[in-house]
Amino acid sequence: MDTASTRVTAKVSRRKLLQAGGAAAGALAASGALQSTFAAPYFAPRRFQGEKLTVLYMQSGTYDEAARLIAPEFEEATGATVEVVAFPYQNLHDNAANDLVTQTGAYDVIDVAGQWDGEFAPYLVPLNDYVERDGINGDDFIPNIWQLNGLWEGNRNGIPNANDAQGIIYLTDLYEQAGVSVPKTWAQYNENAAALTGNGIYGASWTGLGEQLQGSWLSRYWESGEPLCDENWRPAFVNDAGLNAIQLLRDALQYAPEGMPGWDIPTQMNTVLAGELAQSEVWPSFIRADARNPDKSKIVDRWALTPFPGPSELSLWNLAIPATSPRQDLAWEWIKMYTSPENAKRFALQFGVGSPQLATWSDPELTELYPEYPQILAAIENGKPIWRIPQFPAAWDVLQKELEKTVYQGADPQATLQTIADEWNRLLDQDPPTAPYVE
């Protein structure tokens, strides 16, 4: 079996980083009710004429499409041109990491997942002075998101631009026909799945690729109330709760489509929209807008969202500037525009993006459109961060791959958990974390 060290070596960027130490929207636009704005711009109009800004996002149909939406407006305001580059989640990390480590300077702005904060921090521009100069107020953000996203060892390296907590999307008409209710436990989710499966409809699903299986296991584990690690970062999951979480996934698998372990996020979302899944574990940001769009969805007015029965891992995203960018002032103006309160609402309306800004979640127009908002906000506020130290990529590679072996291929659960713990301990021994453990 490959060790963690072998896996890290196979990915040059990760190895080097470890060694370094460390429809509503359309009406809104038509009415002109919201326009993209800059917060206190510190440049003359079109001051950046002739410059080109390259920004990197996850290919999700949300964050990247929001960037493409505002690019012409940014170009008009600054005189610069904008190229939006996007990769699927499972490729985004390595493309960003390779650029940072090799100092290629291909990107001026990078959308950083919060779990990469510690890993990428040595290669990013601290934004503290920009934040102070332009009056960016942390009190406007969801408190735990501001503290856990883009902040590393006292430096504000990124401005939060999106966040989420996982939930279950379910078809209300099929729930009624089957006589089931919203699951309060993962065991009840499986009971629902059994009652809902049949006639081409499946009662369970999650995304199999790109570090997504581990999120489903984590919530089932955290449902027990047990911590993932102790205060010294050492694994604490080789126990009955860890075994039960694996068994719950195995039991649910029989109610999922046969090819589901190979699904990426877009494949799962398309299957949800096709009405083939009576229950599905999703990131709400990726589904709430499209599910309401009759041009894309066969489940309009037939669905609802509810938080996971157990705590969800947090999805955290922040916009950062690589130290190699020669256009740092221009990059900062992009970050301000993308993360403005006006665009936070605009992106929520048009793409369903989960905003880090508190005001978005109490906006009357949004709460009417998205009645699940109060529940999802509560799930975000109570969600748990995953590792944000430089060891994250290697540790989560091990977690995902070993969970795949036991959930999908029948490997011994006890041995699987011990293998994960041993590999995590090896990574921690290589470079003991100095940051406090937070869960």
Distance of alpha carbon 231 from the chain centroid: 25
CB-count exposure of residue 231 (10 Å: 0-12, 13-18, 19+) = exposed
Q: For residue 89, what are the contacts with CB-CB under 8 A and spacing of at least 6?
A: 58, 59, 60, 210, 211, 264, 265
Distance of alpha carbon 285 from the chain centroid: 9
3-state percent breakdown (helix, strand, coil) of the chain, nearest 5: 50, 15, 35
| Per-residue pLDDT tens digits for 86-103 | 999 889 999 999 999 999
- Return d(Cα 267, Cα 262) in angstroms, integer: 9
Distance of alpha carbon 249 from the chain centroid: 21
193-214: b (≥16 Cβ within 10 Å) or e: bbbbbeeebbbbbbbbbbbbbb
H helices present in 223-297, as ranges: 240-253, 265-273
Q: Quickly name the fold that domain 34-165+314-381 has.
A: D-Maltodextrin-Binding Protein; domain 2 (3.40.190)
Angle between helices 186-196 and 240-253 (to 10 degrees): 10
Tokens of 349: 């309306």
Report strand pairing: 158-165 vs 314-320. Answer: antiparallel
Which CATH code of 3.40.190.10, 1.10.150.20, 3.30.565.10, 3.40.50.150 fits the domain covering 179-307? 3.40.190.10
pLDDT value, residue 1: 38
| Per-residue pLDDT tens digits for 398-424 | 999 999 999 999 999 999 999 999 999
Asked if residues 183 and 168 have their Cβ atoms less than 8 Å apart, the reply is: yes
Q: Do domains 34-165+314-381 and 179-307 have the same CATH topology?
A: yes
Task: Mean pLDDT check: name the lowest of 21-25, 80-84, 401-405.
Answer: 21-25
pLDDT value, residue 18: 36
H helices present in 41-114, as ranges: 63-78, 89-102
Dihedral sign computed on CA atoms, order 319, 325, 331, 332: positive
Could you give the percent of the chain with pLDDT greater than 70?
A: 90
Kindly list the distances between the CA atom of residue 230 and the CA atoms of 177, 389, 430, in Å, as whole numbers in the listed order. 45, 15, 18
Q: For residue 176, what are the contacts with CB-CB under 8 A and spacing of at least 6?
A: none
- Return d(Cα 305, Cα 308) in angstroms, integer: 10
- Return d(Cα 421, Cα 39) in angstroms, integer: 46
- Whether pLDDT at 289 is above 50: yes
- Return d(Cα 134, Cα 259) in angstroms, integer: 49
Q: What are phi and psi of 155, to 5 degrees?
A: -100, 130
- Whether pLDDT at 317 is above 90: yes
pLDDT value, residue 183: 98
- Whether pLDDT at 171 is above 60: yes
Map out the domains of the chain as residue ranges. 34-165+314-381, 179-307
- Whether pLDDT at 27 is above 70: no
Q: For residue 303, what are the contacts with CB-CB under 8 A and spacing of at least 6?
A: 169, 170, 171, 172, 291
Average pLDDT for 245-272: 96
Average pLDDT for 165-185: 98
For all residues of the chain together, what is the average pLDDT?
90
pTM, entire model: 0.86
pLDDT value, residue 43: 55
Distance of alpha carbon 343 from the chain centroid: 19
Q: For residue 202, what are the contacts with CB-CB under 8 A and spacing of at least 6?
A: 193, 196, 255, 256, 257, 276, 277, 278
DSSP 21-42: T--HHHHHHHHT------SS--
Asked if residues 123 and 110 have their Cβ atoms less than 8 Å apart, the reply is: no
CA proximity to 147, closest of 385, 379, 352: 385
**What does DSSP assign to residue 201?**
B
